[in-house]
């Protein structure tokens, strides 16, 4: 019997037993894995291997490949009966970084409670948004997704064919919405996808694909899990499995009782305060560790940086307008394309601000601000404005009677070859992000920073930065020297 006839026969059969066509696909996938009863009987799964976690939105150039956190050790333990998961992984940065580059993570989920265990074994509860993400992540597995689909509380809908796959939408008993794709030929689960919301990208479709199935104790399990997003098809995780274990002895994955009793930490409320650092220059700090700088010109205001998120950038824009209510805020200088620095780019465009950045960033800025945000609608999706861009090549001088800001391209910077910094000669104020901060544990760009200060003949009194605190050149040099001694 060929495949087409088999599939039709199966659907006819399903209908005869009062089973929906969607449930027939789920049942067939269960059979392909080793039998529906076998899938329903699995108590625990342990997936061990290695792979990569690419560093999303942090590639050197907008068009460069992403740089990786290498993951030499990866272990995911799942307790299916109790809805618990633990991910233990060792990550080593495959790129220069200002903070720790060798990290061991121990990430827990127990029902609706998410927690992290530090290297000393101390568990700390994390927010509900992380718990929701980990619950979805746990469903990025052929067994867990089928179990969720077979739950009487789940809703199945919208069976359709796409290429060589049959797809079914699943709303789990917990209310999570995912799509399962099944290989129409083999019946094996091919992937699970779901939508999430990004401050930078709006709606994002995430897909975890399963491949290289092997049979372990009569159950078929993938040997590769590849997760991608629908922005440039970026990979967010790629894990090659060295060992699948079914119903092995695993540690108790329950959250510690003290954590269960304590409430989930709430996200820190956004606050922005304005500190005058020169005549007509304010440092807009407050909550978080990504700041903006405000410059007052004769007849308008200019911001430097719209970081992190819409909430942060909206608060920054509002603060700027309240500091100098008599002049319009018309433009923002964006230092580089990295996602922590552009989380408010969509907000700036929605506000009608002209975006000033290195000319090489226009393409990616257009791309990210053309996307829709429906899952968590944002200001840009509501008003549909488009990017107004002013490109910088080597130098751009913004100057009138009140203010002079020199915008310089930072030459030969490996972190971001299109990085911009700003300098106000009158007040000897430097504005930079990602070149130096006295709080860093490593200073990989110190030499490049020194070269660029020399090239531009900058002798600053104060560095008013995007990250960290206001610092003098002497403080920075001392921090670099202290690090070199270690």
Q: Which residues bind Zn ion (CB under 5 A)?
A: 338, 340, 434
What's the min distance (Å) between Cβ of 337 and Zn ion? 8
What's the min distance (Å) between Cβ of 468 and Zn ion? 10
Cβ–Cβ < 8 Å for 53, 91: yes
Distance CA 35, CA 468 (A): 56
What's the min distance (Å) between Cβ of 463 and Zn ion? 14
- For residue 71, the surrounding DSSP H or E stretch is strand 68-79
Cβ–Cβ < 8 Å for 345, 310: no
Extract the tokens encoding 85: 């998961």
Give whichever of 115 and 283 is closer to Zn ion, judged by the CB atom. Answer: 283
Give whichever of 359 and 372 is closer to Zn ion, judged by the CB atom. Answer: 359
CA angle centred on 95, ends 91 and 100, rounded to 5°: 50
Which residue's Cβ has the minimum distance to Zn ion?
338
What's the min distance (Å) between Cβ of 464 and Zn ion? 15
Return the closest-CA partner of residue 408 out of 475, 476, 333. Answer: 333
Give whichever of 217 and 412 is closer to Zn ion, judged by the CB atom. Answer: 412
Distance CA 357, CA 418 (A): 9
Q: Length of the chain, please?
A: 486
What's the min distance (Å) between Cβ of 207 and Zn ion? 27
What's the min distance (Å) between Cβ of 131 and Zn ion? 27
Distance CA 108, CA 95 (A): 27
User: How many CA within 13 A on the CB side of residue 455?
Assistant: 14
Distance CA 422, CA 409 (A): 9
Give whichever of 379 and 470 is closer to Zn ion, judged by the CB atom. Answer: 470
Q: What is the DSSP letter of 360?
A: G
Distance CA 138, CA 216 (A): 20
Helices first, then strands: H and E counts in the chain? 12, 27
Return the closest-CA partner of residue 126 out of 12, 251, 268, 306. Answer: 268
Distance CA 373, CA 369 (A): 10
What's the min distance (Å) between Cβ of 55 and Zn ion? 10
What's the min distance (Å) between Cβ of 98 and Zn ion? 8
């Amino acid at each position: 019997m060929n495949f087409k006839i088999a599939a039709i026969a199966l659907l006819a059969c399903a209908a005869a037993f009062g089973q929906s066509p969607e449930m027939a696909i789920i049942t067939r996938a269960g059979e392909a894995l080793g039998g529906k009863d076998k899938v329903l009987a699995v108590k625990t799964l342990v997936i061990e291997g290695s792979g990569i976690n690419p560093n999303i939105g942090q590639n050197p150039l907008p068009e460069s490949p992403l740089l990786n956190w290498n993951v030499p050790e990866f272990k995911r333990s799942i307790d299916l009966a109790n809805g618990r998961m633990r991910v233990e992984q060792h990550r080593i940065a495959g790129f220069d970084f200002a903070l720790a580059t060798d990290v061991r993570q121990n990430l827990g989920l127990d029902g609706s409670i998410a927690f992290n265990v530090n290297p000393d074994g101390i568990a700390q509860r994390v927010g509900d948004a992380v718990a929701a993400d980990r619950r979805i992540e746990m469903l990025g597995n052929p067994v867990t997704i089928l179990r969720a689909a077979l739950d009487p509380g789940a809703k199945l809908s919208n069976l359709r064919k796409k290429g060589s796959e049959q797809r079914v939408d699943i709303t789990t008993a917990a209310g999570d919405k995912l799509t399962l794709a099944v290989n129409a030929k083999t019946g094996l689960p091919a992937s699970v996808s779901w939508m999430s919301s990004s401050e930078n990208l709006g709606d994002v479709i995430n897909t975890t694909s399963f491949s290289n199935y092997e049979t372990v104790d009569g159950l078929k399990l993938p040997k590769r899990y590849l997760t991608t997003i629908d922005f440039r098809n970026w990979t967010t995780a790629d894990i090659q499995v060295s060992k699948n274990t079914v119903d092995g002895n695993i540690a108790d994955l329950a959250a510690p009782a003290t954590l269960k009793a304590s409430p989930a930490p709430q996200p820190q409320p956004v606050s922005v305060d304005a500190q005058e650092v020169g005549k007509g220059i304010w440092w807009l700090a407050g909550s978080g560790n990504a700041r903006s700088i405000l410059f007052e010109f004769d007849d308008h205001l200019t911001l430097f940086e719209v970081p992190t998120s819409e909430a942060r950038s909206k608060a920054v824009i509002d603060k700027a307008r309240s500091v100098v209510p008599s002049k319009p805020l018309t433009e923002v200088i964006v230092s580089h394309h990295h996602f922590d620095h552009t989380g408010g780019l969509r907000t700036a465009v929605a506000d009608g601000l002209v975006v000033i950045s290195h000319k090489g960033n226009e393409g990616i800025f257009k791309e990210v601000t053309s996307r829709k945000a429906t899952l968590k609608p944002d200001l840009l999706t509501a008003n549909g404005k488009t990017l107004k861009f002013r490109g910088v090549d080597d130098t751009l001088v913004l100057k009138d009677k009140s203010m002079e800001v020199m915008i310089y391209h930072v030459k030969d910077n490996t972190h971001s070859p299109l990085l911009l910094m700003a300098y106000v000669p009158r007040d000897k104020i430097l504005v930079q992000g990602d070149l130096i901060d006295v709080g860093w544990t490593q200073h990989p760009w110190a030499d490049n920073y020194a070269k660029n200060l020399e090239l531009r003949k900058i002798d600053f009194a104060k560095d008013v930065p995007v990250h960290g605190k206001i610092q003098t050149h002497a403080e920075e040099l001392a921090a670099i020297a202290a690090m070199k001694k270690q």
